[in-house]
Amino acid sequence: MCRFHVKSVYEQPILNGLQYVWRLDDDSFIKTPVGYDVFRLMRDRRIQYGIAKVRSETGACIVGLWRAVTNYMNKRAIRQRFWWPRGRVFYNNFEISDLDVWRSPEYREYIDYIDRTGGIYYHRWGDAPIKTIAVTLFVPKNRIFRFKDIKYNHERRRIPRIL
């Protein structure tokens, strides 16, 4: 799932011709009506990445990730566009993004590097930290928007116990 959300989803032909995508996991819920067109807001304000929440990531899901990213940054002589605390992630169970970010040669090179390390499989690197780091590398801070007005929850479904 994590590899799909950082790499494979953006290679799907169904996305051809689209500029923006809104990711909501199947256990995500919008609690009240949204009174405006989120895609128009993204376009009109030239926003490249929109989220609703920021969370702390489980330490087990980022073991070795920053070392790999630092190695990548050193090899490519790039720096983050803005500082972001390690261990904090854009909670991407709700994200609206400009597909140009994920289709850019810079992101494709980054995600191919991350993919080749095998960390998604061997260390369970999550899609949220991988994409959060990518946003800090490739998206100007003033092109990120937090949708504070959209009442959103990510609720894990309870599976009934069978006795």
pLDDT at 18: 96
pLDDT at 26: 83
pLDDT at 39: 97
Active site residue 95: yes
Cβ 80 vs Cβ 136: under 8 Å = yes
- Provide the percentage of residues in the chain whose pLDDT is more than 70: 95
Q: How far apart are CA 65 and CA 19, in angstroms?
A: 29
pLDDT above 60 for 159: no
Q: Hey, what domains does the chain have and what are their CATH numbers?
A: 2-11+23-154 (3.90.550.10)
The closest alpha carbon to 21, from 46, 55, 63, 50, belongs to 50
pLDDT above 60 for 160: no
Q: How far apart are CA 162 and CA 114, in angstroms?
A: 40
Among the options 57, 95, 106, 109, which is catalytic? 95
Average pLDDT of the residues in 138-161: 84
Average pLDDT of the residues in 125-152: 96
pLDDT at 22: 96
The closest alpha carbon to 55, from 28, 92, 83, belongs to 92
Q: How far apart are CA 32 and CA 29, in angstroms?
A: 9
Report pLDDT digits (tens) over 7-20.
999 999 999 999 99
Query: Which segments of 1-37 does DSSP mark as H helices, in order?
Result: 2-6
Across the chain, mean pLDDT equals 92
Q: How far apart are CA 30 and CA 42, in angstroms?
A: 18
pLDDT at 60: 81
Report pLDDT digits (tens) over 34-51.
999 999 999 999 999 999
Strand ordering across the sheet containing 20-24: 20-24, 94-98, 49-51, 144-146
Give how far Cα 145 sits from Cα of 33, 73, 104, 136, 154, Å: 19, 25, 20, 13, 19
pLDDT above 60 for 74: yes
Q: State the pTM of this model.
A: 0.91
Q: How far apart are CA 139 and CA 142, in angstroms?
A: 8
